[in-house]
Structures are given as C-alpha cells and as structure tokens.
A and B are shown apart, each in its own frame.
Chain A
Amino acid sequence: MVLMASNEQEDHTASTGMPAGGRGETRFPPFDPVNFTPMLIWLSLSFGSLYLLMSKIALPGVESILHTRAHKIANDIAEANAFRARSEEAATAHDKTIADAKAKALALAQETHARLNAETEENRLALDAELNARLATSETQILAMKAKAMGNVEAIASEAAAAIVLRITGKPAGQEAQEAIARAIATIKA
C-alpha cells in the first residue's frame, strides 16, 4: 500500500515536472526530497562501481603503461648516452692518431732536412778542402816555375848582354863587363 502510494505520487510529480495541482506549492525538482533517496542509492552504486573499476583495473593499467614508457625512455636515453660516449671516445682516439702521425711526419721531415743539411755541409767542406789543397799545390808549382823561369831569365839576360857586348865591342865581355851585367840584372830584378 505504502509503496504504491509513493510510487503514484512520484509518477505524478515527475510526469508533469510541475507541482501537482492539488498541492498548491511549487517544488523545484533538484530540491524535491522525494527524488533524493533513489538518486543517492544510484549515485552510491554508480560512483562505487566507478571507483572500483578505476582503482582496481584502470589506474594500475595506465600506471603500468606510463611506467613502461618512462622505463623505455630512460633506457633509450642511457643507451644513446653510452653510444655518444663511445663515439666521442672513438673521435678522440682518431684525433690522437692523426696528431701522432702528423708529429711523426714532422719529426721525420726535420730529421731528413737536418741530415741532408749535414751531408751537404760535409760535402761542401770536403770539396773546399780539396780545392784549397789543389790551390796550394798550384800556387807552390807556380812559385817554383816562376823561380825557375826567373833563373832562366837571368841566364838568358846575361847571355844576351854578353852577346850584345861581343857584337858592339867585337870581343867577348871581360871580367869587368860580366860583373856589370850581373849588377844590372840584379837591379832590374829588384
């Protein structure tokens, strides 16, 4: 009986949405206590089931997705960093190899340069010495020949002077003339 009555009353209120004519009062639906009980019952059912679905199934699922992604990103970044470190290492090693090779080449070049310089200098000195020696021998030779030639010149000159004296005077040069010629030659030589 009671159930029927409340049902009828609710049906009536709900179907018109306006106060029932007989009650003579305006009842705004959100403030109508008749609606409260079924609404609260269904609210607790729906909110409770949503809470259970979210807390037991949905949120752990999303959390694991986010966790997996964060993990994957962190792993990838770590891996990328490791690769970068390796490539940097390789780059420094490469640079070092190049620098070493350059230094070696430079040292070799300098060494070769110095060696060649030394060789050239040595050759030059040897040549110099040889030339000097040859020059010295030539000079002594020249001096010797000069002295010899000068000796010959003296003999020739005295012979020529004697011949001149013989031609002019008609008789060979005497002791006195011989001495005069020798004196004259010595004067010329001096």
Chain B
Amino acid sequence: MAEENTLDPIHQFTIKPIVGLHPFGIDASFTNASLFMVIVVLSATALMLLGTRSRSLVPGRVQSLAEMAYEFVASTVRMGGGHDGMRFFPFVFTLFLFVLFCNVIGLIPYTFSVTSQIAVTGALALLVIGIIIVYGLLHNGTRFLRLFVPSGVPVALMPLLVPIEIISFLSRPVSLSVRLFANMLAGHITLEVMGGFVVSLLGAGVFSVLAPLPFAMTIVLTAFELLVAVLQAYVFAILTCVYLNDAVHPGH
C-alpha cells in the first residue's frame, strides 16, 4: 500500500482530516489543506511583521524582502488601476502573498500544495470577480455596464460584440482559477512522476545505473517549478489588477 502510494502521482493531492469538526452539521474539519493554509498565513505574517519589526532605515535581508514584496505589488496595482486602484492594494497584496506562499511552500517535499485544489483557486477567482462586480456597480452604477459595450463600434455590430464581451468577462474567473490550479497540479504530478522513476529504476536491478537521469531531471524540474510558482502568483496578482482596473475605470 505504501509503495503504491509513493508511485501514485495523485496521492499528494489527497485531503486528510486531522481534526474532525462538524459544527451545526457542516463539515469544517481541520484537514492537511487547512493546516497548510494556516502555515501559509503564519509564514506570510512572519515575513511581513517579524521581518519589519526592527523598522531599520537600512533594511536587513528579511525586511528588504518584505519591502520588495510591498513595492512590487504596489507598482503592479498602480500600473493596472492607477491611483484609484490603490484602495485595492491590501487585497491584491494579500492575494499575491497567499498564492505565492501556497505555491512555494507546496514545493517542499512532503508538504501540501493548497493552490493545487480547484476549490481554493476557484474561490479566490470568484472573490476577485465578485469584488469587481460589487465595487464596479457601487462606484460607477450603470456606467459599469459600459464594460460590455466597446466604444467606437458601429451600433449594428453591438448584438454580436456585447455577448462576446459578456462571455469574455464571465470566462475571466474560469481562466484565472484554472490557470493557477492546472499549473500547480501539472507541476506536482510531473515532479512526482520523475521522482517515481528514480525509485522504480533503483529497484530494477541493472537498470538502476540509469536512476541519476530522472533524478537530475527532478532537480531541473524543481527549479522550473519554483519559477512557475512565483510566476503564477505574479500572473494572478497582475490579472487581478487588470480586472480591477475595469471596475475602477469602466469603458474601453
């Protein structure tokens, strides 16, 4: 059974309850996913609070990391949403940091990758789109609907273009969540399969001399996955900014 699990690339995504909690008949069990969400929150908080605790004028390593994250997200938000977009800065920052820490912590062997769960990425994407719709309607009223009406287009084309715009708007949460989920899932499966090759080859007599090849591949892939982890967090944040820009400044 244990052997089978090691070679099963899907096993790593399994949710295991650690403490079963069922308040009011709702399943709120503290699972391994929950554990790693808490770990992510604690690490992110440690970076941002403990790292900046000394408040030194010349930052140390951790403080400059925290400042870099701050300035990076701040410039991204300013680029996407302008000055008005800065009210979403804490939200985008939290989103970026959460996704980044989920992705990077998930790369450590024997950990759980929270962002490889479509429920998590889907919920985050729906949160983004929900905020865009609610803020867009509250802030701009019906002008928000101009988002679906491209300007400078003949009225005759509107029956064709408006549905396309609506579909493209509705596909945003899907693409946002599936992109992150699929990247994480595929990366972890690839790593697991490569690692499994190493184990299989080592147990295959004379073929065990070939075992270093997939092992080297695993190292390369791990580096690549680190890139993907950071890149996907960045993509998530920057697309959120681009979409938020629509809520702040509707109309093309």
Query: Is A54 a contact partner of B93 (Cβ separation < 8 A)?
Result: yes
- Specify which chain A residues have a CB less than 8 angstroms from the CB of B29 in the assembled complex: 7, 10, 38
- In the complex where A30-B118, A31-B118 touch, is A66 in contact with B70 (Cβ < 8 A)? yes
Chain A contact residues, majority secondary structure: helix
Q: Which of B4-12, B193-201, B205-213, B215-223 contacts A (4 or more CB under 8 A)?
A: B4-12
- In the complex where A30-B118, A30-B119, A38-B27 touch, is A59 in contact with B33 (Cβ < 8 A)? no
Q: In whole angstroms, how far apart are the Cα atoms of A31 and B67 in the complex? A: 37
Query: Is B20 a contact partner of A62 (Cβ separation < 8 A)?
Result: no
Query: Is B38 a contact partner of A46 (Cβ separation < 8 A)?
Result: yes
Q: Please tell me if A25 contacts chain B, counting CB pairs below 8 Å.
A: no
Q: Please tell me if A51 contacts chain B, counting CB pairs below 8 Å.
A: yes
Query: Is B49 a contact partner of A36 (Cβ separation < 8 A)?
Result: no
Q: Please tell me if A17 contacts chain B, counting CB pairs below 8 Å.
A: yes
- Specify which chain A residues have a CB less than 8 angstroms from the CB of B124 in the assembled complex: 43, 47
Contact residue range for chain B? 35 or more
- Specify which chain A residues have a CB less than 8 angstroms from the CB of B230 in the assembled complex: none
Q: In whole angstroms, how far apart are the Cα atoms of A68 and B83 in the complex? A: 21
Query: Is B70 a contact partner of A30 (Cβ separation < 8 A)?
Result: no
- Specify which chain B residues have a CB less than 8 angstroms from the CB of A2 in the assembled complex: 25
- In the complex where A31-B118, A38-B28 touch, is A50 in contact with B52 (Cβ < 8 A)? no
Q: A38 to chain B: closest CB distance in Å?
A: 5
Q: Give a binary string over A2-46; 1 marks a CB under 8 Å from any B CB, 0 the rest.
A: 110011001100110110000000001111101111111111111
Q: Please tell me if B168 contacts chain A, counting CB pairs below 8 Å.
A: no
Question: What is the chain B residue whose CB lies nearest that of A73?
Answer: B57
Q: In whole angstroms, how far apart are the Cα atoms of A46 and B11 in the complex? A: 24
Question: What is the chain B residue whose CB lies nearest that of A57?
Answer: B49
Partner of B52, one of A31, A36, A45, A62: A62
- Specify which chain B residues have a CB less than 8 angstroms from the CB of A55 in the assembled complex: 90-91, 94
- Specify which chain A residues have a CB less than 8 angstroms from the CB of B11 in the assembled complex: 17
Query: Is A66 a contact partner of B67 (Cβ separation < 8 A)?
Result: yes
Q: B192 to chain A: closest CB distance in Å?
A: 12
Q: Which of B40-48, B150-158, B244-252 contacts A (4 or more CB under 8 A)?
A: B40-48
Query: Is A28 a contact partner of B31 (Cβ separation < 8 A)?
Result: no
Query: Is A62 a contact partner of B38 (Cβ separation < 8 A)?
Result: no
Query: Is B48 a contact partner of A17 (Cβ separation < 8 A)?
Result: no
Query: Is B57 a contact partner of A72 (Cβ separation < 8 A)?
Result: yes
Partner of A58, one of B49, B57, B114: B49
* B11, B25, B90, B181, most chain A CB atoms within 10 A: B90
Query: Is A29 a contact partner of B37 (Cβ separation < 8 A)?
Result: no
Q: Please tell me if A53 contacts chain B, counting CB pairs below 8 Å.
A: yes
- Specify which chain B residues have a CB less than 8 angstroms from the CB of A28 in the assembled complex: 10, 13
Q: A88 to chain B: closest CB distance in Å?
A: 29
Query: Is B45 a contact partner of A11 (Cβ separation < 8 A)?
Result: no
Question: What is the chain B residue whose CB lies nearest that of A72?
Answer: B57
Q: B55 to chain A: closest CB distance in Å?
A: 5
Q: A100 to chain B: closest CB distance in Å?
A: 46
Q: In whole angstroms, how far apart are the Cα atoms of A72 and B26 in the complex? A: 54
A-B contact pairs, 17 of them (CB 8 A): A2-B25, A11-B17, A17-B14, A35-B117, A35-B119, A46-B37, A47-B94, A54-B44, A54-B48, A54-B97, A55-B90, A59-B70, A61-B52, A61-B55, A64-B55, A66-B67, A68-B55
A-to-B contact residues, CB < 8 Å? 2-3, 6-7, 10-11, 14-15, 17-18, 28-32, 34-47, 49-51, 53-55, 57-59, 61-66, 68-69, 72
B-to-A contact residues, CB < 8 Å? 5, 8, 10-11, 13-17, 20-22, 25-31, 33-34, 37-38, 40-41, 44-45, 48-49, 52, 55, 57, 59, 63, 66-67, 70-71, 89-91, 93-94, 97-98, 114, 116-120, 123-124, 181, 185
